[in-house]
Amino acid sequence: MSGWAEALGRLITLLLIYLAIQQPETMWVGTRYGNRVLVPANQVLNPAGRRIEFAQRPVDLALSPQGDLLAVLLPRSIRIFTAEGQSLRTIRTSADSSFLGLAFTADGQRLVVSQSEAVSIVPVSGAAGAVSIPLPAKSSPAGLAFDPAGTTLYVALNRLNQVVRIDLAEGRVTATVNVGVAPFGVALTPGADRLFVTNWGGRRPRSGEPTLASAGTATLADEHGVAISGTVSVIDTASFRVSAEIEVELHPSGIQISPDGRVAAVANANSDSVSFLDTATLEITGKTSVTAFPINYLGSTPTAVAFSPDGQRLYVACGGNNAVAVLASRGAQWVVEGFVPTDWYPVALAVAPAAEGGETVYVANSKGIGSRDGQSPYSVYNVLGTVSVFSGRSASAATLEATAQANDPFRKAVLPPGSPANLRELGIRHVFLVIKENRTYDQVLGDLGKGNGDPRLTLYGWRVTPNQHRLAEEFVTLDNFYCSGIVSADGHQWITQAITTDYVERAYAAAWPRSYGYDGRDPLVLAPTGFIWENAQRRGLAARIFGEFAQSGGSSRTWNEFLRDAEGPRLQLSVRSTSPVPALNAVLEPSYPSFTLNIPDVWRARVFQARFEEFVARGNLPNLVVIQLPTNHTSGTSPGAPTPATMVADNDLATGRIVETISKSSYWPRAAIFITEDDAQNGVDHVDGHRTVCLVASPYARRGALDSTHYNQTSVLRTIEELLGLPPMNKFDAAALPMRSVFTTTPDLRPFLAVPANLPLDTLNPALAGLQGEERRAALESIAMNFSAPDAAPEDRLNRVLWHVAKGWQTPYPRVPHGPNCRPGED
C-alpha cells in the first residue's frame, strides 16, 4: 500500500474514532456522529434496529392486514413502503391530515385517512378513485376504527367532542354521539360491542367547576391554565350511546385493546403512565408508570400503545424519551421490562408477527432526526421524518442506563477552567429573561466576524443590530445555541416551561386545527410542571412578567405615534394587558403590551424602564423578570407598516437600552440577563434550522469569549434555576447543561452602553401605488397576511419576502425545501 493510502486510512480511522467518542457538549445539532445525532432537546439519538427516512413529519402509520405494506401518514400525503422499508410511492392527499387516523381496509387495497373535515378512502396503488366522506365543519376527525366486517367506520371528531358512525357503502354518517372533551383515540372490541374513546380534555365540567376554553369548549382546568381531567368514554355500539365514562390520568391519547379483547391500554401523555381497563367490567385494573429520564421528573410523554400478537407485551411510544417502553404481563400487573431507543418523538406504533417468530415493531418518529431534509442551509421546516424498525424479541435487552444516557447526555461534561462549580455561588439574585421572535443565528450574527457564522445568510447584521453584535462581542459569543421548538406555539412553551405537551406536538403536524397556543389560552397546551416563574414563586421568590403569555386590547394608534411617544419625556399613551392563565395575572405587568406589532419595542422598553426605576427606588426588584420583545418578527412589506429592517433595528435598540438600564443600576452586581428567540423559524442557518441567537450579560459573564459548548433554551432555564437556587421543573431542564462555561467567578462591573440605531425607526413601507414587479407582488401578499398574532402569516412566503427585501429581488433564496408539495428552492 502506498504511503498516501496508508495516511488516508489512518485519517479515516481517526475520524471514525472521533465520531464515536464525540462528547455531547461539543456536538452540533443535526450532525451525524456515526449513528448518533444530537437534537435540541438535550437528547442524543442512537436508535435500535434500522431507520427509514423520508421528508416531512409522520402523523400516523399502519400495516396492511397481509403484513406486506407499511403506510405512513404525513401532513399532506401518504408514503407507501414494503414491510422491509423499500419506498414504493407517495400518494398526495386532498387536504391537511388531522392529529392521527390511518387504517387499511380488510382487503389491504385501500387506506382510510382522517383529514381536516373529512375522511378519505384512498387506493393503496396510488391510482385515481379516492373517495371523500364529508364531516361537519371544523370537526378535526382523529382516531378511527373499522368493525370486523369492514362495513362500518367509527371516527372521533376531536373538535366537536363527538364520535360518528359511518356506513362505508353509503358513504355517509349514520349516527352521532357526544363524548368527553377533545376525543382522540378509538379502539373497538373484537366482538364490536363496545367502542373505547380517549378524551384529551377529560369529562365535561359540572356547574361551578373551574374551566378554561379549548377550541370553544369549556374544559376542566386549574388556575395555572392546565387541563386537569382525562377520561375514556365507552360507547355501546348497538344503541350508540355512552354507557360509561372512566377517569384515567391526564391527556389520555393512544389506546388499543388486547388481542383477546379483555384489556384496553391507555397512554396518559401528561401523566407519564399507562392505564389498564377491563373491557367487560369497565374497571381500572392497574396503572403502570412509564419512567422519564432523568428519573423522578415528568416528561416521558407516552403517546401510543400497541400489543404484541400474543398479548403478552405492550409497546409504549414515549415521545419525551425518544424510546419505546416494553411492558410485560405479570399476571394482573404490567411491568416495565426495558426501553428501546428510537428517533425524535415517537407518536405511532404497529406490531407484526415476524416470520422467524417473535414480532417486528414499527415506530413513526414525528421529528425524525430534525431539520435535515436537504442540504445546508437549513430551515426548521426541513424535517426529515423516520420510522424505526426493530425486533420485539430483543426489546428487553435494552437497558435503562442506555436510555438514561441518551436522555441525560451531559452528566459527564467537564467544567471549563475559571468557571464556577455551582452558579449559585456567584451571588446573583436577579435574573432577566428577554424573549424575542423568530430569528436564526446566521440571520443576525452571521457577520459577527468570529464564531461559526455564514455572512452570506445574514439579513440583519452589524448595521441593523449593532447592540446585539456588541453584546455578543463584549460578553460571550454563543455560536452553538438552539431553540428546542419550531414555531411560537411550541417555542414559548420551551423557553418558559422547558417542555411541550403531546397536544402541541400533534397539533403542529395537523396545522393547528384547535388552537395556536402561544399565549396559553388553551388548557391542553400547558404542562402540569408549570412555568419558570411559578417555579420561582413556589420557592418564595418574586417574579414579574412583561408581555409573555398575555393578551392586549386593540389599539388604533400607529407605529409612529407610539414611536413619538417613546421619544417624549413621559409616556402619554397606554395599553392594558391580561393573561388567559388566571394565576399569571398576579405577576403580569398590566401596562406592558403583548404581541402587538403596531407598538415599537422602544416603547415597550420605556414601560419596562419606568417600572424598573420604581423597583430600584423601593428596593423590591423581583428575582425573576421575563420580558417579551416581539417586533423583530416584522410585518413584511405591508404598505404603511414599518420596513422589516426598521422593526429589527427597533427591537435591537430596545434590547440595548434595557441592558444598559439594568447595568447602570445598583442591582447590576447581582444581575444576569439572558436574551434569546422563542424560535428560529423565520430564516435559514448553515448549521441547523434550530440554531439561534443567545446573548448573556452580567458582571460575571465572560468578556470577549467565544463559547461553542452546546446549549439550548432549556439550558437557559436550567441556568436560571441554578442561579436562583431552584429545582428543575421536568426532565428536560433536569437534563440540560447549566451554562457554567459562560460565567467566571471574577466580576467585571463595567456597564453596557447602548448605541443608537443606524436606521431611522419611522421608515415605513412604500404605498402600493408606487410599486411594480416583485415588490408589488410582495406588498400584496403582505397585505393579505395576518400579523395580529405570531405565525399567523404564511411563514414560508414571509421568509422569502424578508430575504429579497434585504438581499435584493434578483438574489435567489437559499435552496431549502419549504413544504411537502414544493421543490427545494422554489419561490
Show the 3-state SS of 349-370.
EEEEECCCCCEEEEEEEEEECC
- Three cell numbers at 109? 387495497
For residues 626 and 550, the answer to whether their CB atoms sit within 8 Å is no
Q: Tell me the mean pLDDT per 10 residues along the chain, length 827.
A: 53 48 90 94 94 95 96 96 95 91 94 94 91 94 93 97 96 97 98 97 96 96 96 98 98 97 98 98 97 94 97 96 94 90 97 86 96 90 94 66 90 86 96 96 97 97 98 98 94 96 93 88 95 98 97 84 96 95 96 94 98 97 98 91 96 98 98 96 93 98 96 98 98 97 96 97 92 89 83 80 90 68 35
Q: Sheet harboring 624-628: ordered strands across?
A: 543-546, 624-628, 430-436, 671-677, 694-697
What does the alpha-carbon distance between residue 423 and residue 108 come to, in Å, rounded to a whole number? Answer: 59
- Three cell numbers at 312? 403478552
pLDDT value, residue 554: 61
- Three cell numbers at 491? 417555542
127 Cβ contact list (under 8 Å, min separation 6): none
pLDDT value, residue 561: 96
pLDDT value, residue 778: 87
- Three cell numbers at 283? 374497571
Q: DSSP labels for 443-476?
A: HHHTTSSSSS--GGG-SS-TTT-HHHHHHHHHSE
CA–CA distance from 199 to each of 147, 172, 203, 209, 369 (Å)?
Answer: 21, 24, 7, 18, 30
pLDDT value, residue 358: 83
Closest by Cα among 479, 452, 488, 448 to 464: 448
What does the alpha-carbon distance between residue 644 and residue 631 come to, in Å, rounded to a whole number? Answer: 9
For residues 443 and 459, the answer to whether their CB atoms sit within 8 Å is yes
pLDDT value, residue 241: 98
pLDDT value, residue 514: 92
What does the alpha-carbon distance between residue 351 and residue 733 come to, in Å, rounded to a whole number? Answer: 33
Domains of the chain: 41-407 (2.130.10.10), 428-742 (3.40.720.10)
pLDDT value, residue 820: 40
Helix or strand holding residue 206 (H, E): none
Closest by Cα among 379, 805, 808, 798 to 597: 798
What does the alpha-carbon distance between residue 444 and residue 424 come to, in Å, rounded to a whole number? Answer: 31
pTM of the model: 0.94
What does the alpha-carbon distance between residue 437 and residue 632 come to, in Å, rounded to a whole number? Answer: 6
What does the alpha-carbon distance between residue 101 and residue 145 come to, in Å, rounded to a whole number? Answer: 9
pLDDT value, residue 11: 52
How far, in whole angstroms, is CA 83 from its chain's centroid?
30
Closest by Cα among 348, 369, 351, 349 to 360: 351
What does the alpha-carbon distance between residue 763 and residue 19 come to, in Å, rounded to a whole number? Answer: 50
Compute the half-sphere exposure of residue 569: CA atoms within 13 Å on the CB side of its CA: 0
For residues 608 and 592, the answer to whether their CB atoms sit within 8 Å is yes
Amino acid at 403: T
Q: Which residues pair with 145 in a beta bridge?
A: 154
671 Cβ contact list (under 8 Å, min separation 6): 428, 430, 431, 432, 662, 663, 665, 698, 699
3-class secondary-structure state, position 774: helix
Helix or strand holding residue 684 (H, E): none
pLDDT value, residue 823: 33
For residues 484 and 732, the answer to whether their CB atoms sit within 8 Å is yes
What does the alpha-carbon distance between residue 429 and residue 127 come to, in Å, rounded to a whole number? Answer: 66
